Amino acid sequence: MASSAVKAEGRGRLLGPGDPAAIQVDGAGPPILGIHGFGGTPLEVALVAEVARSLGRRAHLPLLPGHGTHADDLSRTGWDDWAAAAVAALEREAEPAIVVGLSLGSLLATHLAVTHPERVKALVLLANAFWLAAPFPAWALYAVGALKLPDFRLPKVAADIADPEARRTHLTYGEHPVHAAVAVERAGARMRLRLPEVQAPTLIVHGSRDRVCPVANAERVAARLGTRDVRVVVLPRSRHILTRDLERAEVAAELRQFLQRF
């Protein structure tokens, strides 16, 4: 029994080096709020903090509920928990913020832009998750939700990063609870209907080799946004976690240029 318990603990624990805690950078406003992806930690958007620091800007990268601990905790959370945490992070700022979201974080960033437009000065959508890759994981998650199957965990072979060293050192869970993943798929379907409500200037960056969220998402989202102040950048060598991938310098340059507008 003890051996089985250890194995279960190992499969659901965080894999990879680093501290999963929230990241804070002191500096001038307007503040920058960076939101990580599903199963990840603030470290996967640490590039946002690096750019903010280089510009002397204030930044906050919170840790979403259920993340940074064990997959058991993620299985007990869903969209409402993550959205509430994102709203709380936005409301702690004294002035409107520039919100940057990666994957699940892109859905949460958009949620903030449409529910609190007066508090969101601009929006950055990285590897946006409004549509997931089909047939997997999109169709599989839809089927699990439609059939109301009991929760179970999906093993994660490796993070979708082309850079081998970044992939080896990426801090994330070794397994994902499927019901929490279904919550991401459903949130994408709901939030893409609200894209016309987005009026904030928006930067969209996507990797052409993304195997989690199709690269077509970049143009599909741009065409649906309510704002026409949109820049779309597709990086030819990057996969899903483009903030840690082969073209992270290009991502940093795009972020820096966009942030300097405000």
Q: Which residue has the tokens 């529910």?
A: 115
Bridge partners (DSSP) of residue 70 are 13
- Residues 25-51 have pLDDT tens digits of 999 989 999 999 999 999 999 999 999
- Confidence class of residue 22 from pLDDT cuts 50, 70 and 90? very high
- Confidence class of residue 1 from pLDDT cuts 50, 70 and 90? very low
Distance CA 173, CA 39 (A): 6
- Confidence class of residue 2 from pLDDT cuts 50, 70 and 90? very low
Residue ranges and CATH numbers for the domains of the chain are 2-259 (3.40.50.1820)
- Confidence class of residue 151 from pLDDT cuts 50, 70 and 90? confident
- Residues 235-252 have pLDDT tens digits of 999 999 999 999 999 999
Q: Give the rounded percent of residues in the chain with a pLDDT score beyond 90.
A: 81
The pTM is what?
A: 0.93
Q: Is the pLDDT of residue 9 over 70?
A: no
- β-strand 120-126 against 97-102: which pairing, if any? parallel
The pair of structure tokens assigned to 226 is: 């309510």
User: For 62-75, what is the mean pLDDT?
Assistant: 96
Q: Is the pLDDT of residue 142 over 90?
A: no
Is residue 87 within 8 A of residue 112, CB to CB? The reply is: yes
